Amino acid sequence: MPSIKEIMETMEYGPAPESNTDVKRWLDSHSGGISHFINGKFVAPTGPMTDVINPADDSVIATLAKGTQDDVDAAVKAARAAFSKWSALPGYERAKYLYAIARHVQKRERFLSVLETMDNGKTIRETRDIDIPLVARHFYHHAGWAELLESEYPGFQPVGVCGQVIPWNFPLLMLAWKIAPALAAGNTVVLKPADLTPLTAQAFAEICVDVGLPAGVVNLVHGDGETGSLITGHDDVDKVAFTGSTAVGRMIRKQIAGSGKKLSLELGGKSPFIVFEDADLDAAIEGVVDAVWFNQGEVCCAGTRLIVQEGVAEQFFGKLDARLQKLRIGDPLDKTMDVGAVVSHTQLKRINALVKKGEEEGAVLHQWAAELPKKGSFCAPAFFTGTEPAHTVNETEIFGPIACTMTFRTPSEALEIANHSRYGLSASIWSQNIDRAIEAGAKVKAGIVWINATNLFDAGAAFGGYRESGFGREGAREGLHEYLVATSGKKGKPRSATPLEASVSPNLGKGELPEIDITAKMYIGGKQARADGGQSYNVMGKSGVIGQAALGNRKDVRNAVEAAAKAGGWSGVTAHNRAQILYYLAENMSQRRDEFAALLSASNGSSTKAATAEVEQTIRRCFWYAAQADKFDGAVHATKSKHVTLAMPEAWGVMGIVCPDEVPLLSMMSLILPSVAMGNRAVVIASQAHPLLASRLYQVLETSDVPAGVINLITGERDVLAKTLAEHDEVAALWYCGSNENVKMVEEASIGNLKAVWTDGGFERDWRDDSQGQGREFLRRATQIKTIWLPYGE
Ligand code: NAD
């Protein structure tokens, strides 16, 4: 037996297994198969069963049936039937159920931790100290939101029936992230757990029964992707919330395009972990342990691209190798283990194939060198040195305990490497220089930033990404919006799509050229621009043709996007500055109010009184958004002690705006103003029927100090141009006010870079009504929340 002195030197522990007797008993009692939970009842599984495997020893611990169309129909029907009563309950009544769920989770913490470990392979240390406490915290936090909903979210109501699909890496935690906010906001749900890890969801359903949750409020249907797609595509589901891979996220975006379902996507990542040479290197090394080897690296926000400043790189990699060799890998029920089993042999093969690819591409693998357990799907943790940004292992999510490393010389180089990714979920930044760390935090393209920390989660902090990491947020005040819709107003008339004919041939003979070119131009990059194709179209007014507008094409849209991309400085100027320019714009518009009113009357036949009222309201809206430019700001969230957690609304960057024909001046400005007030640069497709207003507008822009490229105005056939905008990867968000059939078209066209698309479903909006045409909702939609965790306090 080793002496205490020897133990202190080797730090060798004996085994410390957590008992799984209770869980085994529970598993025995479910030997008939894991049931769906529909309308408050456990539905005996039917049809062929698949095995649920404990990945740590390959044993079969349960069996599972695949949910069918009938199961999904029954679950959606139950959720719909339960919705009216559940949503009508006072918030404090809903809160009682959520509190009760939280308490029951806490009471069963040990049981749930062991069950999760056996189902997923993750270590008991993590399930016991992280996953399950966070599940309870999520329900407590959202019980509070249920209580406060009416007073904190005036003008909003629940969406309805939510179809939710989750992955296997944090089975119960992802379920909590989905169900808690949905229920708090008054929705009912049909959720599909991952087929590899269905067990804690079954235990959760039992908690729902124990707390007396009304039947149909929570429904669980098990199965694979096919069952998932029956839920996401179901006609009677109003909102889809998905966490999983980017590839499946795209499929779902396509599947439900044009259906009017609200959508949030939490997808993959390949997050940077930047170490500056002034970082506390030992702390950063422990950071890597948490960033990459936590949960076997099966973490969407894992900081797997280690970007280290050259001066300390060698030292850092040496320390990292030494720390890697000290990791303890083995039986995840053993409390002394750092790394457990990856979720399945299939996942292990995938990881190994990517590791092989990394070596083939010339990187050097530094791997944990001891012997892995004989049984189970264990993967030796590792990191690569000598990788290039374009290597497969730097571009592809490995979803295993493998990091890649790169080096940099200057902070700007670090950011260039960090932002060289299709994803944008999270970033970890390590530096003892607060200015440097915060500056990097502001510039890195990620939805979550941890300064001198990594993988911090809390129900009070929004979680979610940019670009191919999806859109929408989970947790905190911001996350609740995913489960609410504005109550305002009735739907207007459906809009129609009208094709356009070019009215002037681009190839006129010399003698045929009109004496003066009266075609209204477009406005791109601060300059008046003719249509690339040289064509125009007739603009019809109340008494026939009132002029010609440029018939823009794809090339014009691309030029405008390029100009908007170059105008990035606008996002960097102070909000005060933006406000001043919008005030100036309002003043200049008011000087031309009569011209605008006359053009409006000529264009759409509105009376002088109505046209003047529209111009007046447009000017007031300019003032309103100018006032909001420096007032619509973020928050400091109360999360864990020792942290200040900032929720910063950030501009998307380049936004596409497709304007409707109704109240054409007011609607166009109601869309442009919130977008640019928040720091976006807009590429605007003006009203197809009333494009001459756009040419009048650029004359105002030219005199109002709006920098070149911030507002670009294109005229032409709305939906041809909208398609190009929706497909363009440089456009981060799109607001589309066109016809119903083309809502589907733009949503489908947006899947390339998974841009956030906001439409009004193809129905006219009452832009004159401030509750529909103006407000914080527009500002919220013009931004996305970046959560920045800063260490603070003792
Ligand atoms: P996956 O996309 O294969 O599956 C996720 C879920 O979707 C599963 O329940 C699956 O059955 C279901 N599914 C599969 N095809 C479907 C379809 N066509 N329609 C509807 N549902 C379908 O992902 P995975 O392998 O289970 O999980 C790993 C992925 O999840 C990684 O990419 C990871 O980054 C991501 N993830 C993201 C977050 C986040 O918050 N951003 C959190 C955890 C995991």
Structure tokens at 408: 């940099």
Q: How far apart are CA 7 and CA 4, in angstroms?
A: 5
pLDDT of res. 159: 98
pLDDT of res. 514: 45
pLDDT of res. 512: 44
CB neighbours (10 Å) of residue 121? Answer: 29
Q: How far apart are CA 717 and CA 79, in angstroms?
A: 42
Radius of gyration of the chain from its Cα atoms, rounded to whole angstroms = 28
Given the candidates 3.20.20.10, 3.40.430.10, 1.20.140.10, 3.40.605.10, the CATH classification of the domain at 528-633+649-783 is 3.40.605.10
Ligand 1 pocket list (CB less than 6 A): 165-169, 192, 194-195, 224-225, 228-229, 232, 243-245, 248, 251-252, 266-269, 300, 397, 399, 425
Indicate which atom in ligand 1 lies nearest the CA of residue 474.
40
CA of 274 from ligand 1 middle (Å) equals: 27
Q: How far apart are CA 469 and CA 753, in angstroms?
A: 9
CA of 596 from ligand 1 middle (Å) equals: 51
32-35 long-range CB contacts below 8 Å, 24 or more apart? 33/62, 33/63, 33/64, 33/65, 34/62, 34/63, 34/64, 34/65, 34/198, 34/199, 34/202, 34/222, 35/202, 35/205
Indicate which atom in ligand 1 lies nearest the CA of residue 247.
2
Q: How far apart are CA 558 and CA 733, in angstroms?
A: 15
pLDDT of res. 496: 87
Q: How far apart are CA 426 and CA 270, in angstroms?
A: 8
CA of 484 from ligand 1 middle (Å) equals: 23
Indicate which atom in ligand 1 lies nearest the CA of residue 251.
18
Given the candidates 2.40.30.10, 3.40.309.10, 3.10.450.50, 3.40.50.1980, the CATH classification of the domain at 272-468 is 3.40.309.10
Structure tokens at 356: 């092989």
Question: Is residue 167 a contact partner of residue 194, using CB atoms and an 8 Å limit?
Answer: yes
Q: How far apart are CA 539 and CA 691, in angstroms?
A: 8
Indicate which atom in ligand 1 lies nearest the CA of residue 249.
2
Q: How far apart are CA 495 and CA 557, in angstroms?
A: 23
Indicate which atom in ligand 1 lies nearest the CA of residue 193.
9
**Which helix (H) or strand (E) is 247 found in, with range?**
helix 246-255
Distance of CA 209 to the CA centre of its chain: 32
Mean pLDDT of successive 10-residue segments in the chain (794 residues)? 78 83 97 96 91 98 96 98 98 98 98 98 98 98 98 96 98 98 98 98 98 98 98 98 97 96 97 98 97 97 97 98 96 96 98 97 95 96 96 96 98 97 97 96 97 97 96 97 88 87 54 55 96 92 88 97 97 95 96 95 93 97 98 94 93 98 97 98 97 93 95 97 97 96 96 94 94 95 97 78
Domain spanning 38-267, CATH architecture: 3-Layer(aba) Sandwich (3.40)
Whether 147 is a known active-site residue: answer: no
* Paired sense of beta strands 536-541 and 544-550, if any: antiparallel
Which protein residue has the closest C-alpha to ligand 1 atom 23? 244
Q: CA dihedral defined by 43, 44, 47, 49, rounded to 10 degrees?
A: 110
Which of these, 740, 748, 690, lies nearest to 716 by C-alpha position?
Answer: 690
Which protein residue has the closest C-alpha to ligand 1 atom 30? 244
Domains 272-468 and 528-633+649-783 share a fold: no
Q: Taking the chain, what is the end-to-end CA distance rounded to the nearest angstrom?
A: 41
> Which amino acid is it at 234?
H
Q: CA dihedral defined by 444, 450, 453, 455, rounded to 10 degrees?
A: -110
Which protein residue has the closest C-alpha to ligand 1 atom 19? 229
Which protein residue has the closest C-alpha to ligand 1 atom 22? 225
Q: How far apart are CA 335 and CA 15, in angstroms?
A: 8
Burial of 515 (0-12, 13-18, 19+ CB in 10 A): exposed
CA of 117 from ligand 1 middle (Å) equals: 19
Structure tokens at 27: 């598993």
Structure tokens at 49: 């069963």
Sign of the dihedral through C-alpha 162, 163, 168, 172: positive
Q: How far apart are CA 91 and CA 186, in angstroms?
A: 8
DSSP bridge partners of 63: 51
Indicate which atom in ligand 1 lies nearest the CA of residue 192.
9
Q: How far apart are CA 86 and CA 32, in angstroms?
A: 32
Number of residues in the chain: 794
Distance of CA 626 to the CA centre of its chain: 28
Q: How far apart are CA 738 and CA 686, in angstroms?
A: 11
CA of 317 from ligand 1 middle (Å) equals: 32
Catalytic one among 126, 266, 298, 614? 266
**Residue of 300, 342, 346, 467 best suited for mutating to test ligand 1, as the one with most atoms within 8 Å of CB:** 300
pLDDT of res. 504: 56
Q: How far apart are CA 331 and CA 123, in angstroms?
A: 8
CB neighbours (10 Å) of residue 561? Answer: 23
Tell me the three-class secondary structure of 531-571, residue by residue. Answer: CCCCCEEEEEECCEEEEEEECCCHHHHHHHHHHHHHCCHHH
Instruction: For the chain, give every domain's residue range.
Output: 38-267, 272-468, 528-633+649-783
DSSP state of 45: P
Which protein residue has the closest C-alpha to ligand 1 atom 13? 225
Indicate which atom in ligand 1 lies nearest the CA of residue 231.
20
Which protein residue has the closest C-alpha to ligand 1 atom 40? 266
CA of 350 from ligand 1 middle (Å) equals: 15
Which protein residue has the closest C-alpha to ligand 1 atom 42? 300
Which protein residue has the closest C-alpha to ligand 1 atom 16? 225
Which protein residue has the closest C-alpha to ligand 1 atom 26? 167
**Residue of 165, 224, 295, 346 best suited for mutating to test ligand 1, as the one with most atoms within 8 Å of CB:** 165
Q: How far apart are CA 656 and CA 424, in angstroms?
A: 20
**Residue of 50, 138, 166, 169 best suited for mutating to test ligand 1, as the one with most atoms within 8 Å of CB:** 169
Whether 300 is a known active-site residue: answer: yes
Structure tokens at 99: 């509190």
Indicate which atom in ligand 1 lies nearest the CA of residue 266.
41
CA of 343 from ligand 1 middle (Å) equals: 13
**Residue of 227, 243, 398 best suited for mutating to test ligand 1, as the one with most atoms within 8 Å of CB:** 243
pLDDT of res. 515: 45
CA of 66 from ligand 1 middle (Å) equals: 17
CA of 358 from ligand 1 middle (Å) equals: 24
CA of 439 from ligand 1 middle (Å) equals: 33
**Residue of 166, 174, 245 best suited for mutating to test ligand 1, as the one with most atoms within 8 Å of CB:** 245
Catalytic one among 18, 147, 162, 300? 300
Indicate which atom in ligand 1 lies nearest the CA of residue 268.
34
Instruction: Enter the pTM of the model.
Output: 0.95
Contacts of 132 (CB under 8 A, 6+ apart): 105, 109, 112, 113, 116, 172
CA of 775 from ligand 1 middle (Å) equals: 35
Which protein residue has the closest C-alpha to ligand 1 atom 31? 245
Longest dimension (CA), the chain: 106
Which of these, 41, 364, 393, lies nearest to 220 by C-alpha position?
Answer: 41
CA of 257 from ligand 1 middle (Å) equals: 19
Which protein residue has the closest C-alpha to ligand 1 atom 9? 194
Phi-psi region of 526 (alpha: psi -120 to 50; beta: other; left: phi over 0): left
Helix (H, G, I), strand (E, B) or coil at 749: helix
Of the CA atoms within 13 Å of residue 703, those in its CB half-sphere come to 11
Question: Is residue 406 a contact partner of residue 448, using CB atoms and an 8 Å limit?
Answer: no
DSSP state of 581: H
> Which amino acid is it at 391?
H
**Residue of 138, 232, 248 best suited for mutating to test ligand 1, as the one with most atoms within 8 Å of CB:** 248
pLDDT of res. 646: 97
Indicate which atom in ligand 1 lies nearest the CA of residue 177.
40
Q: How far apart are CA 555 and CA 639, in angstroms?
A: 48
